[in-house]
Amino acid sequence: MSQLTFSTQPGFVDLQDSTFNQGQPVTDVALKQLNQNAKAAAVRSEEFDMGFYGPGDTVPTPTSPVDGYAYARAECIFSLELRSSRQPAAGYTPGQATLPVLANNDLGSGNLVCVPYILKIDPGSGVLTCQVYFSSSGAANQGTVKVTCKAQRLSVQNSN
């Protein structure tokens, strides 16, 4: 099975409804523009598996493997799934595809009361906040999170 790839980033072309009126000939220019629109529609919305992250890690924006389009943060919706209340052990790589080895002990003390307490990605910087709450020590920056991204291109390119 081959992967969809484009040599250039496709963009939408504004086609008037009258371009395709019944009884009117369709020009090669209109067909090329329609083809361009179909290519752009194929990658307008993409979903990415971003991997595993811990507190304080920066989740990057994805790049389309189809045409190299680099998404802006405003074009991304990140979904967070807490996979463990324990943080990744030393030596893991943020964004790795497999669940990292977890730390042997908690950073907080007492009973684990709230999991997660805070779980978010800063919309400006991409920094992940993952906190759990302990009965004796309060909030602790720990946890391991699986991140996915739904990205949709916001810009429209016009080409003639």
- Given a contact cutoff of 8 angstroms between Cβ atoms, the answer to whether 81 and 156 are in contact is no
- Given a contact cutoff of 8 angstroms between Cβ atoms, the answer to whether 63 and 70 are in contact is yes
Rounded Cα distance, 146 and 135, in Å: 26
3-state secondary structure of 133: strand
pLDDT digits (tens, 9 = 90+) for 16-57: 666 666 777 777 777 777 666 665 565 578 899 999 999 999
pLDDT digits (tens, 9 = 90+) for 53-97: 999 999 999 998 888 889 999 999 999 999 999 999 999 999 999
Closest by alpha carbon to 129, among 61, 74, 54, 51? 54
Q: Residue 90: what pLDDT?
A: 92
Q: Residue 67: what pLDDT?
A: 80
Rounded Cα distance, 123 and 140, in Å: 21
Say whether pLDDT at 157 is over 50. Answer: no
What distance, in Å, lies between the first and last C-alpha atoms of the chain?
33
Burial annotation 99-123 (CB, 10 A radius, 16+ → b, else e): ebebbeebbbeeeeeeebbebebee
Confidence of residue 158 (pLDDT cuts 50, 70, 90): very low
Taking the whole predicted model, whether its pTM rises above 0.85 is answered as no
Confidence of residue 150 (pLDDT cuts 50, 70, 90): very high
Q: Residue 11: what pLDDT?
A: 61
The first and second tokens of residue 130, run together, are 């993952």
Q: Residue 159: what pLDDT?
A: 43
Q: Which carries the bigger pLDDT value, residue 122 or residue 30? A: 122
- E strand intervals along 8-91: 45-53, 76-84
